[in-house]
Amino acid sequence: MPLLVPATLIVLVFLAAPLLILLRYSFNRFVPGQFMVEAFTLENYAKFFTDPYYFAVLRTTLLMSVGVTLACIVLAFPLAQVIARASPRSKPMLIILVIVPLFIGNAVRAAGWMVAFGQKGLVNTALAGLGIQPVTLMYTPAAVFFGIISVNLPYVVLTLQSVLEGIDAHLGEASQSLGAGRFETWRLVTLPLAMPGLIAAAVLSFILTMNAYATPLLLGGPQFQMMAPVVATTILSQNNWPFGASIAFILMVVTLCLTAAMNLIVARRYGR
């Protein structure tokens, strides 16, 4: 038990305490020029839900998170299955290949894409060389979408792979011997048994996207807004701590609620 003390302290001091302080801030009043005035008001929260601009930011963030998560699961599942069934010799190599992108930070990667996909970037230079009109790749929702997918994909692949690996390969063979085709076997045996891992992977991808900062900021451009960058701008550029804190809390609560709901629905659908 004494061994738990340092971790508990770190969580209390560096996570719980700042959160509580931020929660308190979110009820303060923002008076331009005076920084922050002690108060106990819900007007910051009210502002978020009544101002169509901020509500649209939340909607964009949610759509992006759901879309990215679905795309990640669909893209990652076959790859995870291949890795899970790979021979003991090739498996470590495949896993390393999946992990390698994690060595590069999101910001560095996004910056690289700016170079590659900009109006005068690598891709458009190449296209121009072939006599093709330049295409707009940067600062579009699609750029953010694919950017976040590539950030999340390794996590999703590894989570799914570890669960798929635990499924006895004979189960699939038993299913086939009983007359189920490959897809039917996947749908009736593999998918239900992989469901716990699938939920975990989806939750991970959803949370990562809800809170994505560097990728939307660098690839989305000024027109495209998601929650985390808005929190940062509100606090850092506008110095509006109370409103920034309230946006942060709305983001946190929405993420928590949807994650819990997803867990419940899937758990009920697939049982134990």
Partner 1 sequence: MATLRLDGLGKSYGDVTVVENVSLDVADGEFLVLLGPSGCGKTTTLRMIAGFVEASAGRVLIGARDVTGEPPYRRNIGLVFQSYALFPHLTVFENTAFGLRRRKIGEAEVKSRVERALALVRLDGLAARYPKQLSGGQQQRVAIARALVIEPDILLLDEPLSNLDAQLRIEVRSELRRLQKSLGITTIMVTHDQEEAMSVADRLVVLQSGRVQQVGSALDLYLRPANRFVAGFIGRGNFLEGVALEAGFRSAQGTVFPCGAPAGSVGTLLLRPEHVGLHRQQGHGMFAGRIESVRFLASSFDIAVVLAAGDRLQAQLPATPGAMRENWQAGDETFVAIDPAAMTLLQNDTGHADLNSQNQKGVSP
For residue 87 the two structure tokens come to 């021979």
Interface positions, 184-243, toward partner 1 (CB under 8 A): 184-185, 188-189, 192-193
Q: Which of 21, 19, 25, 30 is nearest to 240 (CA)?
A: 30
To which residue do tokens 């929650």 refer?
227
Instruction: Let me know: does 160 contact 76? Beta carbons within 8 Å.
Output: yes
171 touches partner 1 (CB under 8 A):
yes
140 touches partner 1 (CB under 8 A):
no
105 touches partner 1 (CB under 8 A):
no
Looking at the Cβ atoms of 60 and 185, the one nearer to partner 1 is 185
Looking at the Cβ atoms of 34 and 177, the one nearer to partner 1 is 177
- Cα dihedral 8/14/20/25 (nearest 10): 180
CB of 169 to partner 1, least distance (A): 9
Looking at the Cβ atoms of 121 and 192, the one nearer to partner 1 is 192
**115, 181, 236, 264: which one binds partner 1 (CB under 8 A):** 181
CB of 87 to partner 1, least distance (A): 12
Q: Which stretch binds partner 1 (CB under 8 A): 26-34, 37-45, 57-65, 183-191?
A: 183-191
88 touches partner 1 (CB under 8 A):
no
Q: Which of 32, 38, 23 is nearest to 240 (CA)?
A: 32
**14, 168, 238, 253: which one binds partner 1 (CB under 8 A):** 168
To which residue do tokens 């230079």 refer?
125
Looking at the Cβ atoms of 18 and 181, the one nearer to partner 1 is 181
* Cα–Cα distances in angstroms (integers) from residue 271 to residues 77, 159, 187, 266, 267, in the given order: 21, 20, 15, 8, 5
Torsion angles phi and psi, residue 96, rounded to 5:
-60, -40
- 3-class SS of residue 120: coil
C-alpha 68/C-alpha 6 separation (Å) is: 36
Binding site for partner 1 (CB under 8 A): 168, 170-171, 173-181, 184-185, 188-189, 192-193, 270-272
